[in-house]
Structure 1
Amino acid sequence: MNQTTAVPRLPLDSLPKRPPAKWKKYIWGYLFLLPAVAIFFTFLWMPIGKGIIFSFYHIDFVKGDSFVGWENYKRVFKDPEVMVSVKNTLYYMGLGIVIGFWVPILFAIAISEMRRLQGFARIAAYLPYVVPLVVLYGLWRWLYDPVGPINAVLSHIGFDTILFMTDKAWSMISIVIMETWQSFGSALLIYLAAILSIPRDWYEAAEIDGAGIWGRIRHITLPAIKTQVVLLFLLQLIATSQGFQTQYALLDGGPNNATLTYALLVVRYAFTRQDYGSASALGVLMFLVLGLLAVIQYRISNKEGA
């Protein structure tokens, strides 16, 4: 007699279910992200795309736009003010590094070494950052005035009066000093948070081994905040390369184009000369340079694990 083995039938409820697709699993997350993506696309990427397109057109709101190819780029490369603005921007970036970049690092280290009044020092260092810009500009115009407090002190100790706002040699330096005073508090908090996250055991061991304050800073503090220093250095380069607001509000690019930055020249092309095609071409060139800096910052962030 032949024997057959019957396969028992399992109820449908006991059969293994197919896992849901990934998009179904995260559907609610995607829906919550959708408004932010839509806003980002509408107000950032769409204007960038239109700016690239407009850089190849002569924009005329009355007669209509006309395609001109690379003429806008040729025009801006022939404009001597473009090279002046590039040099001023590089000079502004360099001054920001030489004068302002090290200030928050030094203050953060100094505050971290304080045994008393550390909280008060943090608040006092951050307060200039919350000063309204209108008040800030008025305050520093008064300080930089030929008969203002700074020149009064310089005259008292035997120095000549410095024309901070009207002397080409001092105008950009004056702007960098003012912006350093106003904005170093935000970077200081980042550095201070990194320093305070260093295990205190390291400092105690260094003190037991006889290391002084400079030894602790050199061998413990500075190596521990290296990642923050590199990232904020790149962020400062990106921010200063777009310098515009202070140069426009205080001096409008003067005296004699001494504070005419690249971003300010773009605004002049667009709203003073009403040459939106050339302004778009300048904007595209800036976008490419800043995109390169952003890629470098991203690669360094990944490399350092930040």
Structure 2
Amino acid sequence: MNQTTAVASPLSAEATKPRGRWRKHFWGYAFVLPAVAIFLLFLWLPIVKGIVFSFYHIDFVKGNSYVGLDNYKLIFKDPDVGTAVKNTLYYMFLCIVIGFWVPILFAISISELRRFQGFARIAAYLPYVVPVVVLYGLWRWLYDPVGPFNAALEKVGIAPISFMTDKSWSMISIVIMETWQQFGSAMLIYLAAILSIPRDWYEAAEIDGAGVWRRIWHITLPAIRNQIGLLLLLQLIGTSQGYQSQLAMLDGGPNNATLTYALYIVKYAFNSFNYGVASALGVLMFLVLGVLAVIQHRLSARGGNAA
């Protein structure tokens, strides 16, 4: 029986060597290296230092001193931490109930338009480009006791609402403001997904006598379910870190009603100058967000495979 032996060429053998692969991809590594260095320097180095600092009492004058788990023990004894966690969960809940469905509704409504669709897209996205300084000033004026909102309520016989000073309304008011400003970016993602649905599906449904609501329920929503799940997780991760609006509008008030977990980290670090406890709070948040990030990655990979 004749046996044939495959002889590898010297060129292919050279390419399989580590040095050969390195030379082949040298310029690719060279272009990626600055981005990797920036990523390590400004993301992972602070994360590692934050984990280390969570076991120390930070003093820039006398030097740092190791305290072990004392910072974590202080966190679990601090009643305001529990308040901040509850407020953060309440804030996340309000953002889902009030704000999560707004971009979906706008995207579906715009996709159903036969005219002025381009104008509707621009109009819906415009609030997202409003600078935050202008945004906060505008909504402070709208929420003022004698502002436009209360003036409109008074005209229809409803008592004025203390949007900023009433504990039951303060967080809701912030969520409404953020929904108005931020729904445009998510709306464009949903709209792109809806416009990628084959039009034959809608035409077949119309021939079968399906109305608008049946087409939305049986075609549009199932087709964009992967985007809905992904953006839901992204919103959970984003709102869990929310503090900017709470800090700028009310500084956590009234009576800690808008004190979120991330805002409490900022207060520990820059008001109390207790960077060790602030780092420990950040580590706990990092662990929770890491779990959410893993879930997001799994769902994203599943959505890509489904596509």
Same fold, TM exceeding 0.5? yes
> Match of 1:128, as an amino acid?
P
Give 2:227's aligned amino acid.
Answer: Q
For residues 138 and 180 of structure 1, what CA distance do their matches in structure 2 show? 16
Q: Give distance in 1, aligned partners of 2:168 and 2:75.
A: 26
For residues 9 and 254 of structure 2, the distance between their equivalents in structure 1, rounded to whole angstroms, comes to: 81
The alpha carbon displacement at 1:15 in A equals 5.9
Q: SS at the partner of 2:252?
A: coil
Counterparts of residues 1-306 of structure 1 (less than 5 Å): 16-17=10-11, 18-20=13-15, 21=17, 22-305=21-304
| Aligned mates of 1:67, 1:100 — CA distance in 2 | 44
Q: Which residue of 2 aligns with 1:6?
A: none
Displacement of 1:28 in angstroms is 1.3
Residues 212, 27 of structure 1: alpha-carbon distance in 2 compared, 3 angstrom cutoff: same
Q: Distance in 2 between matches of 1:62 and 1:45?
A: 26
**Partners of 1:262 and 1:15 in 2: how far apart?**
62
* Structure 1 unaligned spans of 5+: 1-13
User: Which whole-Å CA distance do the structure 2 matches of 1:25 and 1:85 have between them?
Assistant: 53
**Aligned-partner Cα distance in 1 for 2:134–2:268:** 29
AA at the equivalent of 2:253: G
Question: What is the CA deviation profile of residues 260-299 of structure 1, one whole-angstrom value per residue up to 9, with x for unaligned ones?
Answer: 0000000110111111100000000000000010000001
Unaligned runs of at least 5 residues, structure 2? 1-7
Deviation at 1:24, TM superposition (A): 2.9
Equivalent pairs, count: 293
- Percent identical among aligned pairs is 75
What is the CA RMSD across the aligned residues, in angstroms? Answer: 1.1
**In structure 2, distance between residues paired with 1:19 and 1:171:** 68
TM-score (norm 2): 0.94
Q: Given the two structures, how large is their TM-score scaled by the length of structure 1?
A: 0.94
How far apart are residue 19 of structure 1 and its match?
3.9
Equivalents in 1 of 2:88, 2:25: separation in Å?
45
Letter in 2 for 1:69: G
Q: Which residue of 1 aligns with 2:4?
A: none
Q: Deviations over 1:69-100 (max 9, x none)?
A: 00000001100000000000000000000000
The AA in structure 2 aligned to 1:41 is L
CA distance in structure 1 between the aligned counterparts of 2:202 and 2:25, rounded to whole angstroms? 46
Alpha-carbon separation, structure 1, partners of 2:219 and 2:143: 40
Whole-Å Cα distance in 1 between the matches of residues 14 and 180 of structure 2? 58
Q: Which amino acid aligns with 2:236?
A: L
Q: Which structure's CA Rg is the greater one?
A: 1
Structure 1 residue 23: Cα displacement:
3.0
Residue equivalent to 1:3 = none
SS of aligned partner of 2:163 = coil
User: Secondary structure of the equivalent of 1:274?
Assistant: coil
- Distance in 2 (alpha carbons) for counterparts of 1:15 and 1:141: 74
Aligned counterparts of 1:179 and 1:269: Cα–Cα separation in 2: 25
What is residue 3 of structure 2 aligned with on the other side? none
